[in-house]
């Protein structure tokens, strides 16, 4: 006989959530057949559930190979959850303090697979106005993305490069794989990243990693952003690297205490 709790348990919802659980850093894409096999749900039901998730925005289907990936709704929900987590409540005063002391624009983001999920941002009015998406691709062209890549393990980094098709976002963007690899190596050696108008014309950024100090793993990044019409890269490096690294250290301490890991 079913318990009273079972009467209020939705098996259909459980199946839908089990499909979403199949996607992650190690498996960013899945086929319909793969989903059916791994969940044990028959293909007809899998097709119906997957298409419902696509229509709701939790999954998206590639137009080329029909593979499935998490959709914008899934990432957006994850972003909104940050506001209820200690990490958001903790990072906000750290960034605010640096913002008011140095009057510079600051970004922070957590890594999810090979995407950055925006965490918290403070922007000075003198910066070129642009919309920062909740979900950020093009890690190779962003200060936060570069420093995350520089702190990945060799296997994860090769996985990233295996699927990378770089785009020329500005005249300064590195779009050659060998040049990008060299840039990441230099970033790792330097300890901080440089985005010299590579993602957006008129903006220079420097980035540093947010690390879980117990696991020695990168979980996100912070960046300082400057209008290139007012600051040269040389001046930024001379004046603000210590500010950046102090901010990253404080953020990493928070990350470690909160137990955030990849």
Q: Give the pLDDT confidence of 147-178 residue by residue, as tens digits.
A: 999 999 999 999 999 989 999 999 999 999 99
Range list of H helices, the chain: 4-7, 11-20, 32-39, 43-56, 72-82, 86-102, 143-150, 154-163, 177-190, 233-258
Domains 4-70 and 76-258 share a fold: no
What is residue 118's DSSP assignment? E
Closest by Cα among 262, 259, 227, 232 to 87? 259
- What is the predicted pLDDT for the residue at 135? 76
Name the pLDDT band for 129 (thresholds 50, 70, 90).
Answer: low
CATH 2.40.30.20 fits 4-70, yes or no: no
Cβ contacts of 158-164, under 8 Å, gap ≥ 24: 160/114, 163/114, 164/140
What are the structure tokens assigned to 93, written together?
């005063």
User: What pLDDT, on a 0 to 100 scale, did the predictor assign at position 132?
Assistant: 56
Inform me whether the pLDDT recorded for 25 exceeds 80: no
* Cα atoms in the 13 Å half-sphere on the side-chain side of 185: 7
Please state, rounded to an integer, the average pLDDT across all residues of the chain.
Answer: 88
CATH architecture of 76-258: 2-Layer Sandwich (3.30)
Helix, strand or coil for residue 3?
Answer: coil
Question: What stretches of 57-197 show up as alpha helix (H) in DSSP?
Answer: 72-82, 86-102, 143-150, 154-163, 177-190
Which pair of tokens denotes residue 156? 């994860």
- 63 dihedral zone (left: phi>0; alpha: psi -120 to 50; beta): alpha
Phi, psi of 159 (to 5 degrees): -60, -40
pLDDT tens per residue across span 180-231: 999 999 999 999 999 999 999 999 999 999 999 999 999 999 999 999 999 9
What are the extents of the domains in the chain?
A: 4-70, 76-258
């Amino acid at each position: 006989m079913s318990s009273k709790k079972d009467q209020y348990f939705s098996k259909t919802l459980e199946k839908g959530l089990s499909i979403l659980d199949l996607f992650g850093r190690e498996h960013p894409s899945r086929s319909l057949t793969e989903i059916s096999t791994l969940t044990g749900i028959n293909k007809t039901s899998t097709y119906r559930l997957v298409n419902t998730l696509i229509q709701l925005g939790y999954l998206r289907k590639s137009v080329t190979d029909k593979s499935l990936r998490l959709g914008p709704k899934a990432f957006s929900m994850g972003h909104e959850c940050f506001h209820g987590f200690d990490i958001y409540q903790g990072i906000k005063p750290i960034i605010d303090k640096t913002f008011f002391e140095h009057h510079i624009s600051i970004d922070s983001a957590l890594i999810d697979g090979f995407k950055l999920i925006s965490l918290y941002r403070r922007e000075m009015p003198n910066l070129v106005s642009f919309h920062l998406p909740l979900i950020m691709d093009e890690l190779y062209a962003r200060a936060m993305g570069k420093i995350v890549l520089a702190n990945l393990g060799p296997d994860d980094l090769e996985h990233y490069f295996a699927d990378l098709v770089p785009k020329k976002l500005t005249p300064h963007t590195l779009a050659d794989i060998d040049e990008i690899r060299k840039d990441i190596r230099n970033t790792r050696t330097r300890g901080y990243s440089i985005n010299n108008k590579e993602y957006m014309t008129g903006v220079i950024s420097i980035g540093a990693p947010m690390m879980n100090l117990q696991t020695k793993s990168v979980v996100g990044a912070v960046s300082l952003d400057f209008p290139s019409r007012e600051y040269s890269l040389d001046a930024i490096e001379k004046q603000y690297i210590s500010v950046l690294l102090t901010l990253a250290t404080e953020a990493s301490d928070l990350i470690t205490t909160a137990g955030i890991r990849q």
